[in-house]
Structure 1
Amino acid sequence: MVRSGEGAEKTALRVVMQGMSRRAFLRCFGVVVLPRISVQAKAILPSRQAIRRRIRWVFTFVNPSGVALEAQHFWCYLPANVPLVQSLVDIESSAPFQLLEDEFGHRVFAIEFDRIQPFSGKVVTATATVEMAPEATANLLEEPGAWLAPERFIESDHPLIRTLAQELKGDSSPENSARAIYEWVRDNVAYAGYIEEQRGALRALQERRGDCTEYADLVVALARSAGIPARSVGGYVSEWDFTPKAQDYHNWAELYISGAWRIVDAQKGNWLPVSGNYITFRIQRDSLPSPVGDAHRYRISDGLQVRW
């Protein structure tokens, strides 16, 4: 599924700088680069063990109006850098771009067009190479509290969610509690197909229906309420190199159990699946220091349209 950029904040890039020092802004958002860059990232595994995927985009930008568009911007998420799990190795594009990064490891592909003539368009191709661990890798969680607190759409402190979480938790270990949460959400929430608005965990529990986002949010909220660090993640699931499509965008939960972040995908019915098939693009947080804003995949200037 997809959350398009249409609902994101349509403000200029300078808004991202509010509340940030100039040094912090520059550290987060990098500099202009050439049409190809090899990302200097530490290998997560010996090359013979790592899984590599090549991801290719063909972006078609269109000005559908009779007025020229000036200073047009486009931002979209690339595969994120997740310590010991996933690393963006290389990105190349047919047009100059910026590669932006925030404190959560998100990578953003940014393009600016000086001018697009009326009723015309531009095509930009891009290819990314990402390296992934084939299975969950043990790592120390330095700030577990950050993944236990309630957030927007993750209403882990609501009485309804707390009551159910305690019922599912019982006297079980975190692993058994996580399995009970996964099975309850898998068996009690009906898949409703794509839903444009993100509804959150509480509404998913009350209505017992939703799309992959609601499944993920409810698993995360129940896990946090049961004392298990958890996060909602968005990206793509693929065993092969691929071209991302809107309808293939997917959200899942990751729970920190047995010393590692482990995938729990209640909507697809996947309990602790192969990590290397799940490619993380976005980790959900209340506030992200990113020009993509609240959008799940991309953000674009008013007037300009994009297809891929």
Structure 2
Amino acid sequence: MRLRIEMQASIQNMGTSKMKDGKMFWHLYTDMANQFVDMIDVFPPARFVEKAERNMIAVVKIPELSPGESFTPTVILRIDTTARDWLMEPQDIPDQIKSRLRGTFGKMKKFWEVEDPVIQELSQSIAERVSSDEAYVRLAHDVVRDRLKLKTHLDERRGASRAIREKEGDCDEHADLLIALARAVKIPARRVLGHYYKGVPEPEPHAWCEVFVERLGWIPVDPALNRFGVLNENYFSRIREGLVSQRPPIQLKVNRDTSTAPTIEEHIRMESVPNGS
């Protein structure tokens, strides 16, 4: 499927003095095996940089803004997406890479409280019932779905510890709990933030996981939508989070003489377009 994605940001100076020498760091997309970027158009023109975890960012210069003034840049992406089954593609992965990934993507972070005693107890009970990393992740996926009642777009991201106690959460809590359960037994795991296209202009914000499984490498796991190792063409992968647990879609670097921070808003529209357009 070919998707046309329009991102529009609005940066407004809410202070009492001019905002100068500003830069905007805008997450556009992350590298994913089932999506292929055909075209990027940014107004005003921007510099593109690939940052950590293969996240592609537009660096946009913000013009000088007087109090009350706003700046509204726009990005148009054209991306081809396809359904993909990662389980059909085994890999021979060197031991040193597996060891390095366990050290890098197995640590406790905000929202992934791997040392929480309730998460530790649940992870050990899952580990006692399986004999491989893949079997562990499959069972953890099922446990997350069984333990958490799926809610729609909560006002805050609660993290794994709250999710397991409150027994509910949206896609964020489902992803965070699975990541915490995987990291609790040193299985590398990270988060992907993006959108799920449902055929209407306003795509649904969505989060899921990637888990590193022996002989398969990194595979997507989406406990909220009950997908293991597969993504369909409706997924748009935008930001990968593993070295850190949270990357805002937009970050600013500005000089200002007031403590009042500028406001940041973002609106995203998405549509399916014919191939070749």
Is contact 1:79–1:130 with CA below 8 Å preserved after alignment?
A: no
Shift of 1:59: 3.0
Change (3 A) 1:209 1:108: same
Is contact 1:56–1:243 with CA below 8 Å preserved after alignment?
A: no
Within 5 Å, which residues of 2 pair with 1:141-220?
A: 142=97, 143-145=100-102, 146-169=104-127, 170-220=129-179
Equivalenced residue count is 249
Shift of 1:275: 4.9
The two structures have a TM-score, normalised by structure 2, of 0.74
The two structures have a TM-score, normalised by structure 1, of 0.68
Which 5+ residue runs of structure 2 have no aligned equivalent? 255-260, 268-277
In the aligned structure 2, how far is the partner of 1:184 from the partner of 1:214?
13
Q: Which residue number corresponds to residue 129 of structure 1?
A: 78
In the aligned structure 2, how far is the partner of 1:274 from the partner of 1:197?
26
Q: Which residue number corresponds to residue 229 of structure 1?
A: 188
Change (3 A) 1:149 1:305: closer
| Secondary structure in structure 1 of the residue aligned to 2:30 | coil
| Aligned Cα root-mean-square deviation (Å) | 3.1
Is contact 1:69–1:116 with CA below 8 Å preserved after alignment?
A: yes
Q: Which amino acid aligns with 1:278?
A: Y
Change (3 A) 1:120 1:153: closer
Shift of 1:127: 1.2
Shift of 1:217: 1.0
Between structures 1 and 2, the one with greater strand share: 2
Shift of 1:282: 1.7
Which 5+ residue runs of structure 1 have no aligned equivalent? 1-50, 289-293
Q: Which residue number corresponds to residue 116 of structure 1?
A: 65
Change (3 A) 1:261 1:278: farther
In the aligned structure 1, how far is the partner of 2:248 from the partner of 2:225?
19
Is contact 2:31–2:54 with CA below 8 Å preserved after alignment?
A: yes
Q: Which residue number corresponds to residue 24 of structure 2?
A: 74
Structure 1 vs Structure 2: percent identity of aligned residues? Answer: 22
In the aligned structure 1, how far is the partner of 2:52 from the partner of 2:217?
20
Is contact 2:175–2:207 with CA below 8 Å preserved after alignment?
A: yes
Q: Which residue number corresponds to residue 266 of structure 1?
A: 223
Is contact 2:49–2:56 with CA below 8 Å preserved after alignment?
A: yes
In the aligned structure 1, how far is the partner of 2:198 from the partner of 2:177?
26
Change (3 A) 1:109 1:180: same
Is contact 2:114–2:180 with CA below 8 Å preserved after alignment?
A: yes
Shift of 1:56: 1.7
In the aligned structure 2, how far is the partner of 1:165 from the partner of 1:149?
15
